[in-house]
Amino acid sequence: MAARIVALICLCLALFAHAKPVKDNLPTLKHLPETVHESLRGLESQLHGGGIEGDMIFPPGFDPKTSTRGVAIYGNKQWPGNVIPYDMSAITDATDQQTIVQAMYTLMYDVATSQPNTDDRSACVYFRPREATDNVYLKIQYGNGCSAHVGYMTQFQSTMTLQKNSGPYQEGCFYSQVIQHELMHVLGFYHEQSRPDRDNYLTIDLSNVDPSMTHNFNKYAWGSTVLNQGSSYDYKSIMHYGTTAFSTNGKPTMTPRQTGVTIGDALRLSPTDIAEVRHYYNCNA
C-alpha cells in the first residue's frame, strides 16, 4: 500500500511539473489507484475553523447571504482556466503533504471527463503548485480547525487552513474527505444544508444549538439571493454536515426527513457533487 501511495504522489508531481494547463487543454489524469480511506475522523474540526458555518472564510465586507449561486458562490468566482495554483510550503510534514496531494488527485479524477476505451480522464479542474508568474494562488497552511476561502478572489489571499492531527483520537484535518470538503469551498461551493429547499429534506432543531451558533443554519432563497442550478438535494454530498453539527448536548440538530438515509458521512464527492462542479466549471462531457 505504501508503494502504491508513493507511486501516486510521483505521478501527481510529474504532471504538476510538466503541465502548464489552460482551459480546454488540461492534462490527462491516469487511473486513480484504489486507496484505503480513513474513517470519519476530523469532521469535528471542520466546525471549529473560525469561519461562517464553521469553515468558510470570506473577505471583509462580503455577505454570503446576498452573494450565492445555488450551492455555489455567485459571480465570476471560478478559477480562471479551471486551474488552481497552490503554495503549501508552510506544510512541513512530508506525510501531510502527501495527504493533501492525494486528496487533490482524488477530487480531480472524480470530476474529470472519461476518455473512450481507457480508464484515463481529461481534467476538469486542476490543482498544481504555484509558479513564479502566478500572482493569485491558494495558500495552504497549518492552523486551528479546518477552513478555506470560498471561490476565486484577486483582492484577498485565498487560504486553506488545516489543523495537524494530534491527540489519542488523531483529531485534525489531515484526512482525504476533510481536505476534499475544504477544496470544494476553494472551488466555490457552500454547504448542502444551506440550500433554500433544505427544510423539505431536513428537520432543524435549534433547541440543541447554542444561540450564538444558530446563524450556521441560515438558508438562502431561490431567485433572490441564489440561483437554482437544477440539481436535487443531496444527502450524500461531501458538503453536508452530520446530524449533530453545532450541537451543545450531543442531540441531533439536523434530522433527515427521508428514512434510511445518513448525512455527513461522505468519504469522497457524490455523483451530484461531481455534476455540480462540472456544471459550474463548464466541463462538457
Query: How many residues in total does the chain contain?
Result: 285
Annotation says 182 is catalytic:
yes
- Give which of 88, 102, 91, 108 is closest to 2, Cα–Cα: 102
Question: Of 44, 53, 182, 276, which is the active-site residue?
Answer: 182
List helix spans (H) across 52-150: 94-111
For 101, the grid coordinates are 496531494
Over its C-alpha atoms, the chain yields an Rg (Å, rounded) of 18
d(CA 248, CA 216): 13
For 133, the grid coordinates are 508568474
Neighbours of 184 (CB within 10 A): 25
With a CB cutoff of 8 Å and minimum separation 6, the contacts of 117 are none
The catalytic residues are 182
